[in-house]
Amino acid sequence: MTGPLSGYLLASPSDNVVTRKSLTTTSDGSQVLMEFVAPFESTKFWEKYQFESDRSFTDEEAERSRPPYRYPVYCARSGSKLVILTEKKRLTDYVIGECLNRTIFPNLKHVTFNVEKMIAALQEADSRYRLTSLHGRFAGPGRDLRTMILYGPQVTNSAVFREHQNLFNFYICGVAERLPTDPFYTGEDGEIARIGNDGSISIQSLTRKRATDLNKIINYLISNKWVDDWVAPWEGSSE
Residue 189 pLDDT: 46
Question: Domain locations in the chain?
Answer: 5-110, 115-197
Has residue 6 got a pLDDT over 90?
yes
How many other C-beta atoms can be found within 10 angstroms of the C-beta atom of residue 182?
A: 11
Contact indicator for 52, 32 with CB cutoff of 8 Å = yes
Sequence letter at residue 10: L
In this prediction the pTM is: 0.90
Report the C-alpha gap between 106 and 13 in whole angstroms: 7
Report the C-alpha gap between 37 and 159 in whole angstroms: 48
Contact indicator for 235, 79 with CB cutoff of 8 Å = yes
Contact indicator for 158, 185 with CB cutoff of 8 Å = no
Contact indicator for 201, 217 with CB cutoff of 8 Å = no
pLDDT band at 57 (very low <50, low <70, confident <90, very high): confident
Residue 180 pLDDT: 63
Has residue 76 got a pLDDT over 50?
yes
How many other C-beta atoms can be found within 10 angstroms of the C-beta atom of residue 72?
A: 16
Report the C-alpha gap between 74 and 176 in whole angstroms: 21
Residue 139 pLDDT: 86
Tens of pLDDT along 184-227? 454 444 899 999 999 999 999 999 999 999 999 999 999 999 99
Residue 188 pLDDT: 46
What DSSP character marks residue 153? T
Contact indicator for 221, 16 with CB cutoff of 8 Å = no
Question: For residues 55 and 94, which has the higher predicted lDDT (pLDDT)?
Answer: 94
3-state secondary structure of 210: helix
Residue 1 pLDDT: 60
pLDDT band at 10 (very low <50, low <70, confident <90, very high): very high
Has residue 56 got a pLDDT over 50?
yes
Rounded mean pLDDT, 123-148:
90
Has residue 70 got a pLDDT over 60?
yes
pLDDT band at 239 (very low <50, low <70, confident <90, very high): very low
The number of C-alpha atoms within 13 Å of 188 and in the hemisphere containing its C-beta is: 3
Has residue 31 got a pLDDT over 70?
no
Cα-based angle 111, 115, 119 (whole degrees, multiple of 5): 150
Question: For residues 135 and 140, which has the higher predicted lDDT (pLDDT)?
Answer: 135
- Of 78, 13, 76, the C-alpha closest to 230 is 13
Residue 237 pLDDT: 45
